[in-house]
A and B are shown apart, each in its own frame.
Chain A
Amino acid sequence: MDLLNNLALGFSVALSFNTLFLAVAGCFLGTIIGALPGLGPSNGVAILIPISFSLGLDATSALVLMTSVYYGAMYGGRISSILLNIPGDEPALMTTLDGYPMAKAGRAGDALVISGVASFVGAFLATIGLMLLAPYLARIAFQFGPAEYFALYLLAFATLGGMASNNQAKAAMAACIGLGIAMIGQDGSGVPRFTHGNLHLLDGIDFLVAIVGLFAISEVFVFLETQGKESSIGVKLGKVTVPVRDIIASGWTMLRASLVGFVAGVLPGAGASLGSFLAYMSEKNIAGEKGKFGTGVPRGVAAPEAGNNAAAGGALVPMLTLGVPGSGTTAVLLALLMTLNITPGPTLFTDKPEVVWGLIATLLIANFVLLAMNVPMVKIFVRILMVPPAILLPGVTMISFVGIFSLSGSDFDLLLMTAFGVLGWVLRKMDVPTVPIILGILLGGNMEDNLRRAMTLSDGDIMFLWSSPIAIGLWAFAIAGFVAPMFLRNLLKKPQAVAD
């Protein structure tokens, strides 16, 4: 009954004209921000904060606008992943793997609709999870110490070998390049590494700089080199229909991926990128070779999109209940809340129920708005990316530069991004996948920090890494994930038939 009362309170806040208008506007803006390469949810939200102040919005309205933008961007990120092979934001990285091959095979419309539905399933389930379980789920964070986080990251890297469909050695090499790049900057005790006295490198290399360089800028180089013949730009989008059979066939994938993504989102140290990665890899392992992941299959776009949208909802759990941001975007949202004199933490649900439940009700509404925008109306957003290459390409380049410059206001990052563009171009020539590089940069630093913390706490006792049931379980999964693709493929396929 309590829940119903709370929901009623929430909807009484959410169902005002102002709030609804803000939610729709936020969803629309967010989808565009997500779709544009280089502008991700975190800088999108950061850019909009001053606007919400100059509009004089109250706490609930500002929060509604920002979270709608956040959810919208999570939906929108897939559009450029699928059509341009350039992830719109970092969690949409995994969607390029099957989304772009589908688009190349003339199924761009199907890929967009399936991923839109998957985004809805992930985000909707995560919002329900947030609503029912937030106060309890917050306790999970207390179970994860340095050893457990280290094992979690290890799990991600262990399954990485099976990712590249053609050459595992190249994928491993790419991951090592990424880990190497992650070592740049101050280590956990403040000692600079590989910075060569350059202040810009002291905080390490921002993964957005690497993503935009490796994907967007290298795409520009390929386009210039081949005069458009080999470039990804310019995939045709036919009529958008709803591929009902594919959606039904991906049903279990979406549910499982939502669960994996949500749990990853709830853990403050993990986040949406890890969520979509683990969702994709677990579905790939479940499907086995027969699943043909990586060649453009519907389940390959459904899994990461359900995963990353569920993780976005999950990340709100520690943000609201503990004040611990689980991702870059929730860190920005946290800043917004603090500015509005709302301190997230264990007492937020009881102190400010109208804010929390208003937010939850709006998220439920925003999800339906986004489903409508991203399935029947997806062509509007697609049109932004479907302008002729002569206009689109300079546009992508410009947005990349502006987006990266807005991160730090530093021209050094622009040079670095261009350098990553050159690196990406070279690697493409050598047929080395770039996705593992990004994962290395994204996860390497956190993995190292947690290993260091574990070693500090245990006086260097390596056994500490296996000291809890959770850690042992994650290690078991990691080892299984590493070994399974090599030896157990046939064994894994059989129980699969039942699960499907």
Chain B
Amino acid sequence: MSKTLRALVAGAVFSVAGTATFAAECIAPANPGGGWDFTCRQIGKILHDIGQVPNPVQITNMAGGGGGLAFSHVVNERADDADLIVAASQATATRLAQNAYAGMTADQVRFVGAIGADPGVIVVGADSPFQSLGDMVEAIKADPGSVAFAGGSAAGGFDHLKVLMILKDAGFTDITKVKYIGVDGGADAITQTVGGFTQGMTGDMSEIVGFLQSGEVRALAVLTEERVPGFEDVPTAKEQGFDVVAVNWRGLYVPKDISDADFEAWGAKLQAVADSAEWKETMAANGLAPFTKVGGDFQSWVDGVIADTVELSKEIGVIQ
């Protein structure tokens, strides 16, 4: 019934503009403005622009439960809808791993592909005494209360986990002592850090690009295997001796009960978006690093990420 209603609403909206009917729908499981919304709008736009879908992709914002509402909607009501794609990211995997979707599990949908990743970063204000990630870690080891972090995810979320992964790698075990406040998004976290209310910011590269260019913040480390193209002067955590890689991949999942052929077709369409010049431009402008995995490859990679996150979350006591 909700599908009919949705069509009615969308029909009413679209008749205003005189736009034709649409085929594919992309659900952004959040309000407009965040990463999932960005994923739907960009991928949706390029899919149409390069002719992979005949009509503009209809974007539906379905906020609620940190993505759980959309997840449950797809699992319970749209399980065989082959025209549906849903924006996902590392946060989706983290929440599934931490059982934040009321008992629903990752195997209730199919992860069809990621075509870009937002590298994790650790950032300080321009006038911070910390010159390297090592300086910061030593300060925390000496006095865990002296360094507070701000990030865009809630306590226990991916931004929080990034800091804990680094400290764990450095042999610091008292990770529950680390101060972290979750604020409304990465830009807000930077504002708090530049304002001196927190000493460090943990987030994604895309969230800090403008501030990095204006010189208000310094990035101590990027959490990737290699330095990120366009940001070659930001060292990786790895080369500073911390074996931590954490990227916020941007991708999609599809309902579970669609045919393998449909699943592969979405994978191929995503690959086409990944290969397009438009997407490469979008990535460069938004601080995304290349990261393409589609189809079965991606599904097994996500399974691995979720298993790792479960392990870490248990260690820090987020889940039992």
What residues of chain A have their CB less than 8 Å away from a CB belonging to chain B? Answer: 46-47, 49-51, 53-55, 141-146, 186, 188-190, 197, 199-200, 202-203, 268, 322-325, 328, 331-332, 334-336, 338-339, 341, 343-348, 402, 405-411, 452-453, 456-457, 459
B198 at the A interface (CB under 8 A):
yes
Distance between Cα atoms of A331 and B214 in the complex (Å): 22
Asked whether, in the complex, the Cβ of A46 is within 8 Å of the Cβ of B155, the reply is no
Instruction: Identify which of B187-195, B246-254, B290-298 touches chain A.
Output: B187-195
Bound form: Cα–Cα A202–B65 in Å:
5
CB proximity to A under 8 Å, residues B170-207: 179-185, 187-188, 190-192, 194-198, 206-207
Chain B residue with minimal CB distance to A402? B9
Q: Quick check: is B54 within 8 A (CB to CB) of the other chain?
A: no
Known: A50-B59, A202-B66, A345-B187. 7 other contacts (CB 8 A): A202-B64, A203-B65, A322-B190, A341-B281, A341-B286, A408-B62, A456-B181
Does B316 reach chain A (CB closer than 8 Å)?
Answer: no
Interface pair B191/A190, CB less than 8 Å apart: no
Size band of the interface chain B makes with A: 35 or more
How far apart are the CA atoms of A452 and B180 in the complex, in Å? 11
B188 & A457 in contact (Cβ 8 Å cutoff): no
**How long is the Cα–Cα vector from A50 to B72 in the complex, in angstroms?**
25
Partner of A190, one of B56, B156, B213: B156
Quote the shortest CB–CB distance from B181 to chain A (angstroms).
4
Which residues of B lie under 8 Å from residue A346 when comparing CB positions?
A: 210-211, 213-214, 216
Given B45, B69, B73, which contacts A339 in the complex, CB threshold below 8 Å?
Answer: B45
Chain A residues with Cβ below 8 Å from B56 are 50, 53-54
The reply to whether A332 and B33 contact each other, CB–CB distance below 8 Å, is: yes
A143 and B195 in contact (CB under 8 A), knowing A341-B281, A405-B9, A409-B2? Answer: yes
Which residues on the A side are within 8 Å of B191 (C-beta)?
141-142, 268, 322, 324
Which of B41, B181, B281: most chain A CB closer than 10 A? Answer: B181
> Using Cβ atoms and an 8 Å threshold, which residues of chain A touch B282?
341
Q: Give A143 to B64 CA distance when docked, in angstroms.
A: 31
Specify the chain A residue showing the minimal Cβ separation from B102.
A199
Let me know if B58 is at the binding interface, CB within 8 A.
yes
Q: Contact at A339–B38, with CB atoms within 8 Å? A: yes
8 contacting pairs across A/B (C-beta < 8 A):
A50-B59, A54-B56, A202-B68, A322-B190, A345-B187, A347-B210, A405-B9, A410-B62
Q: How far, in Å, is B9 (CB) from chain A's closest CB?
A: 6
How many angstroms between the C-alpha atoms of A197 and B281 in the bound complex? 43
Bound Cα distance from A50 to B40, whole angstroms: 12
The chain B residue sitting closest to A189, CB to CB, is B155
- With both beta carbons as reference points, the residue of chain A lying nearest to B215 in the complex is identified as A346
**Chain B proximity of A259: nearest CB distance (Å):** 23
Known contacts: A345-B209, A408-B63. The answer to whether A51 contacts B17 by CB under 8 A is yes
Q: Please tell me if the beta carbons of B41 and A323 are within 8 angstroms of each other in the complex.
A: no
Residues A268 and B188 in contact, CB atoms below 8 Å apart: yes
B265 to chain A, nearest CB (A): 24
Q: Is B276 an interface residue (CB 8 A)?
A: no
1/0 per residue B16-36: CB within 8 Å of A? 110100000000000111100
**Is B100 in contact with chain A by the CB < 8 A criterion?**
yes
* A325: nearest chain-B partner, CB-CB: B33
- Please give the distance in Å from B278's CB to the nearest CB on chain A: 9
Residues of B within 8 A of A323 (CB): 187, 207, 210
User: Quick one: CB contact mask for B209-230 with A, threshold 8 Å, 1 for yes?
Assistant: 1110110100000000000000
Contact B58 A50 (CB under 8 A): yes
Complex-state Cα separation, A344 to B187, whole angstroms: 10
Chain A residues lying within 8 Å of B60, measured Cβ to Cβ, are 409
Asked whether, in the complex, the Cβ of A146 is within 8 Å of the Cβ of B38, the reply is no
Please state if B286 and A190 are interface contacts (CB–CB under 8 Å): no
- Which residue of the partner chain, among A144, A331, A336, A341, contacts B31 with CB atoms under 8 Å? A331
Decide yes or no: A324 and B69 within 8 Å by CB, A50-B58, A189-B156, A405-B9 being known contacts.
no
B234 within 8 A of A: no
In angstroms, Cα B56 to Cα A325, docked, is: 27
Quick one: which of B14, B64, B148, B154 contacts A200, CB cutoff 8 A? B64
Q: Does B145 contact A (CB under 8 A)?
A: yes
